[in-house]
Amino acid sequence: MATNIGNLAIRLAMLILFVSVGMYSARTFAQSDTRLPAINVLVFDYSNASPSVLAAAERETSRIFAQAGIRFQWTECGVRHSSDLSSACEDEPVTGQIRVRMLPHHLNHNFSDSVFGFVVAPAYASVYYESALRLVQTVTDANSNISVILGCLMAHEIGHLLLGQGQHTVSGIMQPSWDIQQVQLALRGTLGFSSQQARRMRQSTVFNRGSNRGVVARSND
Ligand SMILES: [Zn+2]
């Protein structure tokens, strides 16, 4: 009997531990958790990315940042696929906002980080669609996974804004150049920020520069 009670106690303890870990994970990865710090991201698409590819790329970026404890709210500012645009797209940039430009290919410029795109602190990130396409083609002839890679490149460039420039690392999503290995990790959904980077990003001054007021946002949660 004593053994049975002991076993029961152990099982109960394991169940409590399992449920606790599950709850912690759910809290960590819940992209819709309004308690997470949020950033409004306005997207200006100058590339040939279709709206569905762009939406899927945004979902991937959101997923990566949710793992770092940061919630994104997206606003489509069209350009090529203009529709009912938020007034925020035409307003002057406000604090607490990041603006992403999706460019078709490299520009002639002197900014650093020209492999994937570039950033202009504190709030502007540009990403090259062509770079995502080239990376995808290192592992497959099909372009069906381009949205995942595009989402990872957006996360990389936005990461520069939240971490500060010159924040490349030898592993993870902030590696300065990617080959087949990083692309495979990205397609498996395992290319992300370290816990240290996540902590630093959550303390970014972007969150202190303002609020979400006045922005009509679409969330890809
Ligand atoms: Zn970089």
Give the pLDDT confidence score for residue 5 in this predicted structure: 54
Residue 105 above 60 pLDDT?
yes
For residue 97, what is the enclosing H or E element?
A: strand 97-103
Burial of 214 (0-12, 13-18, 19+ CB in 10 A): middle
Q: What is the mean pLDDT of the chain?
A: 79
Q: Distance from the CA of 92 to the center of ligand 1, in angstroms?
A: 26
Residue 135 above 70 pLDDT?
yes
In a domain, 7, yes or no: no
In a domain, 160, yes or no: yes
Q: Distance from the CA of 217 to the center of ligand 1, in angstroms?
A: 27
Amino acid at 10: I
Which CATH number is 187's domain given?
A: 3.40.390.10
Q: Is 132 helix (H, G, I), strand (E, B) or coil?
A: helix
Residue 13 above 80 pLDDT?
no
In a domain, 90, yes or no: yes
Give the pLDDT confidence score for residue 211 in this predicted structure: 42
Q: Distance from the CA of 197 to the center of ligand 1, in angstroms?
A: 14
Task: Name 119's bridge partners.
Answer: 125
Q: Is 82 helix (H, G, I), strand (E, B) or coil?
A: coil
In a domain, 28, yes or no: no
- In 3D space, the residue among 133, 50, 67, 122 whose CA is nearest the CA of residue 93 turns out to be 122
Q: Distance from the CA of 155 to the center of ligand 1, in angstroms?
A: 10
Q: Distance from the CA of 120 to the center of ligand 1, in angstroms?
A: 12
Residue 214 above 60 pLDDT?
no
CA atoms within 13 A on the CB side of 221: 15
CA atoms within 13 A on the CB side of 45: 23
Contacting residues for 131 by C-beta, under 8 A, at least 6 apart: 106, 115, 116, 117, 153
Q: Distance from the CA of 122 to the center of ligand 1, in angstroms?
A: 15
In a domain, 24, yes or no: no
Q: Distance from the CA of 166 to the center of ligand 1, in angstroms?
A: 7
Residue 45 above 70 pLDDT?
yes
Please list all protein residues whose beta carbon sits less than 5 angstroms from ligand 1, which is an ion.
Answer: 113
Q: Distance from the CA of 114 to the center of ligand 1, in angstroms?
A: 8
Q: Distance from the CA of 71 to the center of ligand 1, in angstroms?
A: 21
Contacting residues for 3 by C-beta, under 8 A, at least 6 apart: none
Q: Residue 126: which domain range?
A: 37-208
In a domain, 16, yes or no: no
In a domain, 49, yes or no: yes
Q: Is 104 helix (H, G, I), strand (E, B) or coil?
A: coil
Q: How many domains, in total, are found in the chain?
A: 1
Structure tokens at 112: 């650093």
Q: Distance from the CA of 184 to the center of ligand 1, in angstroms?
A: 18
Residue 160 above 60 pLDDT?
yes
In a domain, 99, yes or no: yes
